[in-house]
Amino acid sequence: MSTQDLVPSPVGPVDVEQAEAALVERYPRLVRIAYLVLPPALGRNRRVLTAHALVQRSLPRRRVPGPALPGPRRDEDAVDPGYAYVRGEVLRQALIAGLPLRRLALPRRAQFPPLLPHVWGLRLFPRVGGADELALDQRLSRLSGPGRAAYVLRGLERQGDPEVLRVLAAAGVEDPAAALEEADALDVEAPDPAGASGAPDMPDGSERSAPDSFRVGGQARPGRAGGRSGGGGGGGGVDRARGGEQARVGGAPVPPDGGAPSVGAAPGLPRRLGGVALLESDEFDPCALQARPTDLMRRRQHGRAAFVAVVALVVCGTLLGLPGDGWGRNGAAAPSYARNPAAEAALDPGAVKRVDPAVWPGSTRRDFSAWPARGGLTGDTALLRRALAVWARPGGSVRSSATPGTPVGPPMGPPQLLFAGRVDVMRVVLFHDGLRAVRYAEPAEGTAGAALDFARTDAADAVGAAALVVSRAAGNVRYLTAPWVRETAVRDLLAPAKEPRPLVRDAAGVTDPVPAPARAGACTRWNTLQVRDGEGVRLLADLGEPAPARLLWGPPAAPVDATGAEAREAWARTACQLAEVRGRGVRSVNAWRFARQPLPGAAGQGTWVCTRAETWRGTGSRVLAQFLVPSPRVPAALAARSEGSPACGVRDPRVLAGVLWRAPGGGWFVLAAGSPDFTSLEVSGGVKGRSTGPLLAVRATAGARADLNGTLGDGTRRAALR
């Protein structure tokens, strides 16, 4: 018969209460079914606990619907729907528990040892039976899980073959017919009557045949050995003799209820039990148990190891939870390795210095030390603690940056709080410790992705402390301005004739976002921050650092802020060269015109500009010499650059540079110019020429290379800037 031709049992809807009542009432039988179906290889102790666990978690989570139109009921369907449902769940889980764990397959819950019930220090197992029970257990161990399930359903549950097939198919067995064939094969095996291999000898010396009573329910198989009966359940499948005679198996009377027959045909032979009686014996009863201790020596060793592990975890957890340490309290900070009273005081958020807003108007100093603490989160102790901890011990996940020459260690004492508030989608904290401005930023939600920026700002004056970068996001920059800044505006250096655009600030002094200068690609804009204080208008440029650089114009001895018309015209053609000094800790950039030169062929007048970027640390300054042709729309040409040179500065305002220039008529010339202190210039090498004064123009060829030198008024010779 094909399982596709089977009609499902008409079990109606089952709810939790109905299934629970059936489980409680038939609990011992359900546990016995699970115990018999589980593979004996698990061991008796685990089989017992697993059987109880499978039954206890077989209740439905909600009402289980049945077929809309149930079919006609049969004798084998005369079973409580709740019990039928729970029994099916027990079988399904027991069959899953018998499957081997595979490397690529996802393990199922039933394949793991049960969490509940669980017994500590004892091993539980059913009572030991006789030789017949042992023989049956050995034969069951050779069957597959579906085969054991078929044998148990037919023997213990007294079900007929059609219903056994239906129950196995509902439990997820792929081939119920093959499982029933396995049970048939076990049915025809002869048991050992006295526990020995082989059948006992009869008194006349002949060998006694194996009684049919070992078959499940003592069913007789008319027609063929081991053939399946077509009878239904309920009576154990025992064939009844016609005319009301008592059924007999092997000449022994069989009770009408299908119980165990007595084999007493030959005096002296031991009493044998039928298959049903064996399945219902104490050998297979997981509810009647014996207890023995586990391995006491191994348990003692495991107890010591567990105690040591628990002590280690407690010690580690205590160390991580100490105040000021650990990742939970200090966010992205790394763990501390030394304890020092001065360092702990510097990291105490309660000791952070806060300047009152009324201090700066009467202060004799106008620098960061006069900034009041501003922002909506100045009272957030947890945020300040995280910021100080990350400052002292930045973890591996912290994105940290520092301008060249800026120390990145922890503060020497409690720093001054400048700002703590939410800007865009970040929480930002700004500190100052007299030497550095430190910016800590973390996401508004959580501490992952924290950033820490250091910038050296020692000896800052009122202009150097006029603003700090508080946020960079989506190509925009926001500034936090000093309390003495009255007005803020945005000026594009590349549009000198355009009026600056007013820039709004909030109550804490944070400006609206300003598009930052492009880091790469075409130089189409260079926005600067224009501030007005009590003494004048200043121009500050963002060079990718927390502190913007001041832009100046004029001779090194007396530069002024680059706000005049001439300064703006010159900066409009040289601003794109500021990319040369980005990220170098620049404090100020001064540009000045050191020479004007008539061009050959009446091509107009060229301009020579020297640009010097001074750093906060005093060393590492960069000097650029640039040549400007008469056309105002042509950017400056970079003639020479030098790093660490005193040229073009207060200590040494002299500068000398040259370029290879092509005239409008097509001719090539070496043009050179020096500051007014030069009395003569000379070129040698691929081009030779000499001039009196600080200007030189010598005809050359395309691609020519020459050495340029000059002589000062005191006779000192100077080489060109390089």
309, part of any domain: yes
Work out the angle at residue 670's Cα, subtended by the Cα atoms of residues 664 and 675, and round it to the nearest 5 degrees: 115
Strands 549-553 and 586-598: parallel
189, part of any domain: yes
Q: What is the mean pLDDT of the chain?
A: 80
Cα atoms in the 13 Å half-sphere on the side-chain side of 476: 10
- 125-134, 231-240, 275-284, 690-699: least confidently modelled range: 231-240
In this structure, is the dihedral angle defined by the CA atoms of residues 496, 497, 498 and 502, taken in order, positive or negative?
A: positive
User: What pLDDT does residue 460 have?
Assistant: 93
Together in a domain, 33 and 149: yes
The alpha helices in 171-246, defined as continuous H runs, are 176-187
Q: How far apart are CA 495 and CA 277, in angstroms?
A: 105
Q: What pTM, to 2 d.p., does this model score?
A: 0.57
User: What pLDDT does residue 103 have?
Assistant: 64
Domains of the chain: total: 4
Work out the angle at residue 591's Cα, subtended by the Cα atoms of residues 469 and 459, and round it to the nearest 5 degrees: 45
671, part of any domain: yes
Higher pLDDT, 179 or 589: 589
Contacts of 451 (CB under 8 A, 6+ apart): 398, 399, 400, 401, 439, 440, 441, 442
The answer to whether 10 and 77 have CB atoms below 8 angstroms apart is: yes
Burial of residue 455 (CB within 10 Å: 0-12, 13-18, 19+) is: buried
In this structure, is the dihedral angle defined by the CA atoms of residues 376, 382, 386 and 387, taken in order, positive or negative?
A: positive
Q: How far apart are CA 112 and CA 420, in angstroms?
A: 53
Together in a domain, 310 and 287: no
Which amino acid appears at position 203 of this protein?
P
pLDDT at 82 over 90: no
Q: How many CB atoms lie within 10 A of CB 470?
A: 27
Nearest to 695 by CA among 715, 675, 716: 675
User: What pLDDT does residue 63 have?
Assistant: 59
Domain hosting 684: range is 654-722
155, part of any domain: yes
Q: What are the angstrom distances between the C-alpha of 365 and each of 7, 369, 371?
A: 97, 8, 10
Report the chain's terminal Cα–Cα distance, integer Å.
Answer: 99
Together in a domain, 439 and 314: no
**20-26 mean pLDDT:** 86
Higher pLDDT, 449 or 320: 449
Q: How far apart are CA 701 and CA 34, in angstroms?
A: 101
The token pair at 583 is: 């990220």
621, part of any domain: no
Together in a domain, 354 and 373: yes
Q: How far apart are CA 472 and CA 596, in angstroms?
A: 40
User: What pLDDT does residue 125 have?
Assistant: 66
Q: What are the angstrom distances between the C-alpha of 186 and each of 19, 129, 133, 183?
A: 33, 20, 14, 5
The token pair at 163 is: 């219903």
Together in a domain, 332 and 447: yes
Together in a domain, 409 and 315: no
The token pair at 625 is: 């010499």
- 40-49, 242-251, 300-309, 593-602: least confidently modelled range: 242-251
Percent residues over pLDDT 90 in the chain:
45
Nearest to 263 by CA among 276, 275, 249, 277: 249
Helix (H, G, I), strand (E, B) or coil at 242: helix
pLDDT at 561 over 90: yes
Nearest to 429 by CA among 374, 497, 475, 347: 374
Together in a domain, 382 and 305: no
Together in a domain, 371 and 455: yes
pLDDT at 246 over 70: no
Last residue of a domain, one of 459, 486, 517: 459
Nearest to 458 by CA among 403, 385, 540, 388: 403
**694-714 mean pLDDT:** 94
The token pair at 224 is: 């063929």
With helix as H, strand as E and coil as C, how does 577-596 read? Answer: HHHHHCCCCEEEEEEEEEEE
The token pair at 264 is: 């007493």
The answer to whether 523 and 494 have CB atoms below 8 angstroms apart is: yes
In this structure, is the dihedral angle defined by the CA atoms of residues 342, 347, 349 and 354, taken in order, positive or negative?
A: positive
Q: What are the angstrom distances between the C-alpha of 698 and each of 325, 626, 669, 703?
A: 71, 19, 5, 14
- For 243-383, strand residue ranges (E) read 248-249, 252-253, 289-293
pLDDT at 179 over 70: yes
The token pair at 37 is: 């179906």
User: What pLDDT does residue 189 have?
Assistant: 56
In which element (H, E) is residue 453 found?
Answer: strand 451-456
pLDDT winner (highest mean) among 182-191, 277-286, 349-358: 349-358
pLDDT at 428 over 90: yes
User: What pLDDT does residue 519 have?
Assistant: 66
Contacts of 613 (CB under 8 A, 6+ apart): 549, 581, 584, 586, 588, 589, 621, 622, 623
Nearest to 262 by CA among 135, 250, 253: 253
262, part of any domain: no
Percent residues over pLDDT 70 in the chain:
78
The token pair at 672 is: 């050179």
Together in a domain, 126 and 159: yes
Q: How far apart are CA 673 and CA 209, in angstroms?
A: 127
pLDDT at 674 over 60: yes
The answer to whether 687 and 670 have CB atoms below 8 angstroms apart is: yes
Work out the angle at residue 21's Cα, subtended by the Cα atoms of residues 18 and 24, and round it to the nearest 5 degrees: 150
In which element (H, E) is residue 660 found?
Answer: strand 656-662
Q: How far apart are CA 533 and CA 531, in angstroms?
A: 7
The answer to whether 63 and 13 have CB atoms below 8 angstroms apart is: yes
pLDDT at 149 over 70: yes
Together in a domain, 311 and 427: no
CA 492 to chain centre: 42
Q: What is the pLDDT of residues 46-63, one digit of tens each?
A: 888 888 988 888 888 765
Nearest to 332 by CA among 279, 278, 396, 280: 396
The answer to whether 43 and 97 have CB atoms below 8 angstroms apart is: no
Together in a domain, 27 and 114: yes
Nearest to 460 by CA among 585, 591, 351, 612: 585
313, part of any domain: yes
Nearest to 678 by CA among 696, 651, 659: 696
User: What pLDDT does residue 510 have?
Assistant: 97
- For 262-394, strand residue ranges (E) read 289-293
The answer to whether 457 and 365 have CB atoms below 8 angstroms apart is: no
Q: How far apart are CA 596 and CA 575, in angstroms?
A: 20
Together in a domain, 340 and 442: yes
Phi, psi of 496 (to 5 degrees): -65, -25
436, part of any domain: yes
Q: How far apart are CA 80 and CA 464, in angstroms?
A: 89
Last residue of a domain, one of 406, 428, 459: 459
